[in-house]
């Protein structure tokens, strides 16, 4: 019924800050289809744009929440987990798709470690955010990120590389965390981060980000997170942070807290490697940190 309403309206026209008129088709509002990233059309994203923001001409007040998929690449599924939150807080949800098999047909990890075969997934993500900001007139200077599993890899590494762009980050069940450790090189630590990425560490900017770390208490299957010699991401110390995702998340949390970052850590009983219940925790966290008390969102 909602989609039919938009189709009958054909085009929504709203004023922009400069007084020009922006036209939106029915496919630009609500749950969108896949949209090619203009910076690199091998990659795409889908959105959720709350219809009420368009109806009321309030897109300029919208904030962007990036929701990053895990290895299974179900970006539209992750997006949909945050639709109630988006409606409540006036967020545009941006869910990128980083396909497997880019350059290397057997690779599934490309985006997780930020750089792969000359592709910078951090700057690619920033390009997507800026595209959405331009199209909808929404603020894109600072935004929030959720990531699950492989998505949590990129999410927490964005804290180190682009802290000034982030308001809040929820990283759930990352398998191979990077620590704020100046004695170890990337990806285990950050000793060579400026040489590698051209980005100096800004610890004060990191301390202004609200950080949420969460994992299921039963997330104990380590088959996908153990690094062995000869594999792409092997380096000495690759498994030092723990034997399971639970242990590795605890190590990451302790490291960030020791560096005086603003961290909330949660372990969810009875949950294994499952995105949906962790996204619910993340939604409550974002409700609190993005300006609405968590209890007000409990029925969203």
Radius of gyration of the chain (CA): 19
In terms of Cα–Cα distance, which of 37, 44, 84 is closest to 65?
Answer: 84
C-alpha 38/C-alpha 96 separation (Å) is 13
**Per-residue model confidence (pLDDT) at position 83:** 98
Using CA atoms, how far apart are residues 212 and 145, in angstroms rounded to an integer?
10
Domains and their CATH numbers in the chain? 32-297 (3.40.50.1820)
Distance CA 114, CA 112 (A): 6
Predicted model pTM? 0.92
d(CA 272, CA 148): 12
How many angstroms separate the CA atoms of 4 and 150, rounded? 36
Per-residue pLDDT at 156: 98
Q: Contact, 69 vs 78, CB < 8 A? A: yes
Structure tokens at 85: 């939150």
Can you name the residues that pair with 268 across neighbouring β-strands? 216
Q: What is the pLDDT along the chain (300 residues), one digit of tens a residue?
A: 455 454 444 345 554 444 444 679 999 999 999 999 999 999 999 999 999 999 999 999 999 999 999 999 999 999 999 999 999 999 999 999 999 999 999 999 999 999 999 999 999 999 999 999 999 999 999 999 999 999 999 999 999 999 999 999 999 999 999 999 999 999 999 999 999 999 999 999 999 999 999 999 999 999 999 999 998 899 999 999 999 999 999 999 999 999 999 999 999 999 999 999 999 999 999 999 997 544 444 444
Using left for φ > 0, alpha for ψ between -120 and 50, and beta otherwise, residue 19 falls in left
Q: What are phi and psi of 153, to 5 degrees?
A: -55, -55
Q: Residue 1: which residues within 8 A CB-CB, separation 6 or more?
A: none
Q: How many other C-beta atoms are found inside a 10 Å radius of the C-beta of residue 20?
A: 8
**Other CB atoms closer than 10 Å to residue 232's CB: what's the count?**
10
Give ∠ CA 259-260-261 in degrees, rounded to 5. Answer: 95
pLDDT at residue number 20: 45
First to last CA, the chain: 20
């Amino acid at each position: 019924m909602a989609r039919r309403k938009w189709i009958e309206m054909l085009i929504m026209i709203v004023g922009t800050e400069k007084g020009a008129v922006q036209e939106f088709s029915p496919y630009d509002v609500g749950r969108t289809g896949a949209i090619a990233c203009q910076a690199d059309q091998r990659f795409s994203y889908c959105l959720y744009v709350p219809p009420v923001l368009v109806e009321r001409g309030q897109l300029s007040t919208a904030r962007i929440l990036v929701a990053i998929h895990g290895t299974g690449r179900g970006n539209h599924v992750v997006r949909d987990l945050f639709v109630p939150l988006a409606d409540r807080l006036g967020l545009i949800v941006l869910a990128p798709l980083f396909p497997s098999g880019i350059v290397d047909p057997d690779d599934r990890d490309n985006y997780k470690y930020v750089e792969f075969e000359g592709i910078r997934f951090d700057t690619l993500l920033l390009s997507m955010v800026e595209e959405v900001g331009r199209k909808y007139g929404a603020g894109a200077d600072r935004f929030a990120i959720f990531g699950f599993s492989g998505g949590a890899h990129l999410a927490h590494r964005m804290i180190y590389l682009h802290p000034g762009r982030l308001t809040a980050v929820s990283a759930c069940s990352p398998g191979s965390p990077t620590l704020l450790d100046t004695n170890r090189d990337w990806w285990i630590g950050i000793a060579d981060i400026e040489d590698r990425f051209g980005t100096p560490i800004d610890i004060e900017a990191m301390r202004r980000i609200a950080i949420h770390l969460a994992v299921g208490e039963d997330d104990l299957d380590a088959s996908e997170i153990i690094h062995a010699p000869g594999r792409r991401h092997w380096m000495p110390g690759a498994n030092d942070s723990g034997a399971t995702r639970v242990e590795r998340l605890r190590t990451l949390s302790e490291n960030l807290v020791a560096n005086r970052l603003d961290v909330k850590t949660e372990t969810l009983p009875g949950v294994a490697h499952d995105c949906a219940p962790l996204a619910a925790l993340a939604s409550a966290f974002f409700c609190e940190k993005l300006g609405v008390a968590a209890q007000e969102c409990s029925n969203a």
